[in-house]
Structure 1
């Protein structure tokens, strides 16, 4: 079996130096998510101006060209009468999937990073309360590094008029572009959360496994064979969902190479000098979000895939299970190779032992193994 580098990218990846714009809206109308609807199916939520039109800079967009993911274009209800007083900053939707939290929920957080939190309340859309948001460990720690806590994080469950609302434009738009300030902000967060200081010895080699993950976008079938093989070469096999975000950040700070799949590799954005990243590509093309993180973080991820025996299978019938798990409403705890109920797709290498040996040879050629 031959390991191949994957160069096919879907989506755009523009890097923009500087910071996005922001707008200030008087008498803005906040309309919450519709209870029971997943965000992609909800065409009513959003931020609207006094003419009841959606505020463009508050809309959640992705793709090339950037298109609105969901939300309303016009508010059709009765405008709230009594305004919420004070200065609010809109931070967008809180996503309960780690990768989308980084791209959607942190996209506007450059504003508190640059301007601080004093005197502001931070308004978000979410299916859960602000207290429940901060019960998600990575959300609590990442937002906390920016000074956002239960004292200034706000979610409303009914339409509200906001007297004074600042709306920062997104510093990262999925499959489209990223501003340099996004990387600056993430490195600031990483320095705040890191437990080790700044003297990195790069003595670790780590593989990030999904074999214990209960739900996700994709997983590799028979992954344990790969991780067991890498262990024989001195790799640590880690399970990111069982680690706090500070320890995950230090994995990248302390390692010479980190191998994995999916959004767990995006954590490198929090490091000033991350490890070499090798992504096991689980379909035949790479999401350009990886390029956006590379550009903002100043590193380069290498994407590899197995040879001709590689197969990828989409599992759209699992969407409801995946969404329930992200909403913390699922009874699924740990998946197995025969239980992929909450994964949106799976990949197979055909002969996983052969793939593991080929991967080890590939790493030896690049100097990561003796």
Structure 2
């Protein structure tokens, strides 16, 4: 059954891969959380009276849903691509068709995975596939990850063009210019200014092409910000050794951030700012946080970030001293031998 043209996948009870009897093919389901909760879909559908068309291919491999949200795309829409190659056409759940999406990051990442209009398809009506190969997802949000996911994300990242717009500097990721999303912080411009005064460059990722977003994580010395999908970009630059400092509105970071750490070399730290903020509602955002004292919060975030950077520099310096000492001892041993 195709994706709905009107609602997001988690609110659509009809899309998915079903047997001819109307039973959901669980192996092809989009699931999240430790208990593998369905994201939309239904355990069964009544297919009586529904016109089902024959697909153009006898065999396909299921590649999962194309999720238009940036963070969920990097997680869910890359999850099954480890098993997609030129041997069979790939079937996605997508509306509009994959290469017609207005979000350029979707088109660019799917193309970087080696897919084209000739081997990646989605259907806008109920369609029968005679033989469908369903690979296991290499990552399930807030549940588990595998080396296959990290390898897929790295492969996609390698195909993203390299740019030089960001250097070995310290950056603060801001959502102050975003009009909609999941989480926002009121008056984040005050935090921006505090970090700018402290020597950080301010970045608004949603204004950047994908190549520049990847460049940020490839090259930055430090990337600081409140928790957001922008940090998922690190999965596309796994060899980068910068430091990431994430400020969380709760006491416990969302598990997705921790899952992505398994595949990257960056040094990642989390700090809670829950004592400084209270949640509320805002039409364009799922959760809208307001700081009780935004200037005090900004000052504390800068202090923590600078302390974190200094501590990393100290650890790096100590590690280099240790390696030099080990090398000196080996050299002495060689000479004495």
Match of 1:220 in 2: 185
Q: Superposed, which structure 2 residues align to 1:159-198 within 5 Å?
A: 159-196=126-163
Q: Is the 8 A contact 1:220 1:282 kept in 2?
A: no
Asked whether the 8 Å contact 2:13–2:42 carries over to 1, the reply is yes
> Which secondary structure state, in structure 1, belongs to the residue aligned with residue 190 of structure 2?
helix
Determine the C-alpha separation between the residues in 1 that align with 2:71 and 2:218: 20
Q: Distance in 1 between matches of 2:98 and 2:108?
A: 14
Give the CA deviation at 1:161: 0.8
Which whole-Å CA distance do the structure 2 matches of 1:365 and 1:157 have between them?
53
Please say if 1:32 is aligned against 2:5.
no
Indicate yes or no: 2:102 matched with 1:130: no
Pick aligned residue for 2:221 from 247, 253, 256: 256
CA shift, 1:217, in A, is 0.5
Corresponding residue number in structure 2 for 1:328: none
Bigger shift: residues 85-94 or 98-107: 85-94
Given candidates 237, 260, 272, the residue that maps to 1:293 is 260
Residue 41 of structure 2 corresponds to which residue in structure 1? 71
Correspondent of 1:149 among 102, 116, 139: 116
- Report the TM-score when normalising by structure 2: 0.84
Structure 1 equivalent of residue 292 of structure 2: 350
Change (3 A) 1:350 1:56: same
Q: How many residues align?
A: 307
Q: Does 1:99 align with 2:89?
A: no
Distance 1:240 1:181 in 2: 27
- Which protein has the bigger helix share? 2
* Distance apart, 1:288 and its partner CA: 0.5
- Cα pair 1:84 1:160 within 8 Å, conserved: no
CA distance in structure 2 between the partners assigned to 1:179 and 1:193 by the alignment = 22
**2:198 — aligned with what?**
233
Q: Deviations over 1:75-129 (max 9, x none)?
A: 42247364432432211111111111112111111112xxx3x243221112322
Shift of 1:298: 4.2
Alignment partners' CA distance in 1, 2:74 and 2:67: 9
1:219, distance to aligned residue in structure 2 (A) = 0.7
Q: Which residue of 2 aligns with 1:27?
A: none
Q: Which residue of 2 aligns with 1:277?
A: 244
CA 1:38 to 1:367, structure 2 compared with 1: closer, same or farther past 3 Å?
closer
CA distance in 2: counterparts of 1:82 and 1:251, whole angstroms: 45
Q: Is the 8 A contact 1:122 1:153 kept in 2?
A: yes
Deviations 1:267-326 (A, max 9, x none): 11111124211112123431101111112324453111336332222x2xxxxxxxxxxx
Alpha carbons 2:78, 2:152 under 8 Å: kept: no
Larger relative strand fraction = 1
Would you say the 8 A contact 2:78–2:153 is kept in 1?
A: no
Alignment root-mean-square deviation, CA: 2.3
Matching of residue 210 in structure 1 with residue 175 in structure 2: yes
Q: Indicate conservation of the 8 Å contact 1:86/1:120, yes or no.
A: no
The alpha-carbon distance between structure 1 residues 358 and 34, as it changes in their structure 2 partners (threshold 3 A), is closer
Unaligned runs of 5+ in 1: 1-30, 316-339
Compare relative contact order (CA 8 Å, sep 6+) and give the higher one, 1 or 2: 1
Greater shift in the superposed pair: 341-350 or 360-369: 360-369
Contact 1:306–1:349 (Cα < 8 Å) also in 2: no
